[in-house]
Structure 1
Amino acid sequence: MKPNRLFDIPVKEDIKILNRNLINLVPAQDPILYAASEHLLTAGGKRLRPSIVLLVSKAINEKILPSQHRLAEITEIIHTASLIHDDVIDDCSTRRGIKAVHTKFNNKIAVLAGDFLFAKSSWYLANLNQLEVVKIISKVITDFAEGEVKQSLSLFDITLPINNYIEKSFYKTASLIASSCQAASMLTSNNYRISLNLYLYGKHLGIAFQIIDDILDMISSGNILGKPEKSDLKNGNLTAPCLFTLFEQGYIKKIIKREFCEYNDIEIILKEIKTGRGILKAKDLASEHLQASLNCLKYLKESDSKQSLQNLTEYILNRLY
């Protein structure tokens, strides 16, 4: 698998099937609710999370079970629901290169569409008939809510420790990846050591993915991100590049404390972030988590799927280039 191509992987045909199945999994009697759900589900995206679920499943057992295929679909539905809610909270106008659901419809429809997708995912999850898997994945939805609350309480907070930022990144991004890796393992194996290490693999991979995403928010265009750039900074969500820059350039604290109310405040902060060492330190932090994720794969036997899980660390880091 080339680092910049996610779908040169042993499960690329399974992902094609998943793409066809997704919209059939969320029928709704109300045409507006259906249209709102379909709008984002069919927009594509990287399908990173279901790809990881399928790769983990194949790495453990070579053959992907029907329950693991369904888990991959559930994971993407949960992720899509969280994006719809995130966009309402952050007032992002685009997502995956198209209009955000609340922009195309309205906030009320978007919130209901997100709730609808969460409910659908819970129904399919319950039908796996695996209580421990239900517990693990259900916790993710709680984590999403906790992550949003933690973020809303720390906007423009110049005293936010890096560890709190990492914790928030876990709740908002890594929790789903970690838990779905663990759940995929539990659907085919009773090996606690393997399932725990796969959970940790997903945790570190997810945290690194979020850090890289936060770097891209500072340096990339909206076309690359699929959403408006600099949206985190504008909303007062201080991410790793900004927090590291704060340690070096203390004078920007007053700019953040006044919530960018003066002309060119955003541009001043961005210049300091790009010319200082904030982005490099954030990249180093992501690299540490990627290395930790690699170390968690040592209990898996050698296979193309394991190699793809290892290569995903390169893919994530190479999103910067």
Structure 2
Amino acid sequence: MTSALSLFSPVEADLSLLSENLKQLVGARHPILYAAAEHLFGASGKRVRPAIVLLLSRASAADGCITPRHRRLAEITEMIHTASLVHDDVVDESEVRRGIPTVHSSFGNRVAVLAGDFLFAQSSWYLANLDNLEVVKLLSQVIMDLAEGEIRQGLNRFEVDLSLDAYLEKSYYKTASLIANSAKAAAVLSEVSAAWADDFYNYGRHLGLAFQIVDDILDFTGSADSLGKPAGSDLKSGNLTAPVLYALEEKPYLETLIEREFAQEGDLDQAIALVVASEGIQRSRDLAAHHAQTAVQHLECLPASDERQALMSLGDYVLRRLY
């Protein structure tokens, strides 16, 4: 299986520089927050979001060279993503992320909330300093969407009548919006046509949805070690994802288990078994494949290059995480 590291080889040097810059951007004025940031940015994340920004930036640049503003956009994208993870982990009471203790489990809820707020504030400041109003609007929308997605997820816990469209909309807010809007922002900084900018946005939108659907499948098929969190944790918390929504159409008793919020011993294990025994996981795979394939179609505007090939291969990489 192709690793993210080899996939991102066209921007390997860019990503290495990004990792160094992230810690410096946070600064050492606040020792606890800096320690939390080091903890976060030292984690074994794949840097998928900034890699997409960097690959699109290089693929759309006239001479293949990217500007300092492109680099800063990639850094801002990762800061926003990381800030959202810190807050998500507090809300979800997650003890581990990517196999390491979460910020709140290491430093406490108060520091975790402040660290997330600080990263959002820092990213906003650096965003304003790009001096591009359209890019500011795009990334500001992302921060609003992240909050909207978290609110919707909280309000719809254990909601068995949740529609697939509502699930996809929430998935867009929580995951795809950042990839889509930062991709479009890269196009704006590259000063390409509006049609290209829309293609970049749609590439990010559909790739982000595929990414989230695959994550939701892995909640049932992955091991705790590979997930970096307990398997079945989304279902346990009442977050009903594509495999569950599809399974509910086949397994009526699943609705009973969910509505009583797995109050009886063995309920959760039985619910997971029902999802696995249904067509829910295969139908979710098909849904993820549809979005990954749609994403790649929006790269046809780009001329042939190593960066374009890496972006196209990313669609396959997202799906191969399932196997």
Q: What TM-score results when the alignment is normalised by the length of structure 2?
A: 0.97
What code does the residue aligned with 1:318 have?
R
**5+ long unaligned stretches in structure 1:** none
Q: Give the partner amino acid of 2:40.
A: L
2:4/2:46 contact within 8 Å kept: no
- Which residue number corresponds to residue 265 of structure 2? 263
Check the 8 A contact 1:3/1:312 in 2, yes or no: no
CA contact (8 A) 1:158 1:257 kept: yes
What is the alpha-carbon distance in structure 2 between the residues aligned to residue 318 and residue 66 of structure 1? 33
Number of matched pairs? 320
Cross-structure match for 2:219 = 217
Aligned to 1:184: 186
Equivalent in the alignment of 2:91: 89
**Contact 1:148–1:172 (CA<8 Å) still a contact in 2?**
yes
What secondary structure sits across from 1:29 in the alignment? coil
Q: Deviations over 1:135-174 (max 9, x none)?
A: 1001100000000111111100000000000000000000
Partner of 2:108: 106
State, as a whole percentage, how many aligned pairs show the same letter: 52
**1:229 alignment partner, SS class:** coil
Instruction: Judge conservation of contact 1:179–1:199 (CA < 8 Å) in 2.
Output: yes
Quickly say closer, same or farther: Cα 1:16–1:39, change in 2 above 3 A: same
CA contact (8 A) 2:158 2:238 kept: yes
Query: Would the aligned equivalents of 1:4 and 1:318 in 2 still touch at CA under 8 Å?
Result: no
After the TM superposition, list the runs of 4 or more consecutive aligned residues in structure 1 that deviate by more than 3 angstroms.
2-8
Shift of 1:44: 2.8
Q: Secondary structure at the match of 1:238?
A: coil
Residue 294 of structure 1 and its aligned partner are, at CA, apart by 1.1
Query: How far off its partner does 1:6 sit?
Result: 4.1
1:118 lines up with 2:117 in the alignment: no
Q: Are 2:2 and 1:3 equivalent residues in the alignment? A: yes
Separation in structure 2 between the aligned mates of residue 134 and residue 143 of structure 1, nearest angstrom: 14
User: Normalization by structure 1: what TM-score?
Assistant: 0.97
Map Cα deviations across residues 21-71 of structure 1 (whole Å, 9 max, x no partner): 111110142211221222112113010000000000011011111111111
Given that 1:23 and 1:42 are in contact with CA atoms closer than 8 Å, whether structure 2 keeps it comes out as: no
Offset of 1:12 from its aligned partner?
Answer: 1.1
Q: Deviations over 1:221-270 (max 9, x none)?
A: 22212233221111000001111100111121011000000111111111
Q: Distance in 2 between matches of 1:72 and 1:223?
A: 29
- Aligned equivalent of 2:49: 49
Q: Which moved more, 1:285-294 or 1:35-44?
A: 35-44
In the TM superposition, what are the counterparts of 1:213-292 in structure 2 within 5 Å?
A: 213-292=215-294
Q: 1:6 to 1:317 in 2, by over 3 A?
A: farther
Superposed CA RMSD? 1.1
Cα distance in 2 for partners of 1:72, 1:227 equals 27
The residue aligned with 2:29 is 29
Asked if the contact 1:208–1:286 (Cα under 8 Å) also holds between the matched residues in 2, the reply is yes
CA distance, structure 1, for counterparts of residue 144 and residue 226 of structure 2? 30
1:88-140: per-residue Cα shift (whole Å, max 9, x none)?
00000001221100000111110000000000101111111111101100110
Cα pair 1:84 1:111 within 8 Å, conserved: yes
Counterpart-to-counterpart distance in 2, 1:168 and 1:290: 18
Deviations 1:195-246 (A, max 9, x none): 0010000000000000000111111122212233221111000001111100
Map of 2:158 onto structure 1: 156
Name the CA distance, whole Å, in 1 between partners of 2:224 and 2:116. 23
Q: Distance in 1 between matches of 2:244 and 2:307?
A: 36
CA contact (8 A) 1:214 1:240 kept: yes
Q: Which runs of 5+ in 2 are unaligned?
A: none
Output the amino acid matched with 1:44: S
Residue 175 of structure 1 aligns with which residue? Answer: 177
Query: Residues of 2 paired with 1:234 and 1:169: CA distance?
Result: 18
| Structure 1 CA distance for aligned equivalents of residues 298 and 272 of structure 2 | 35
In 1, Cα distance between equivalents of 2:117 and 2:5: 29
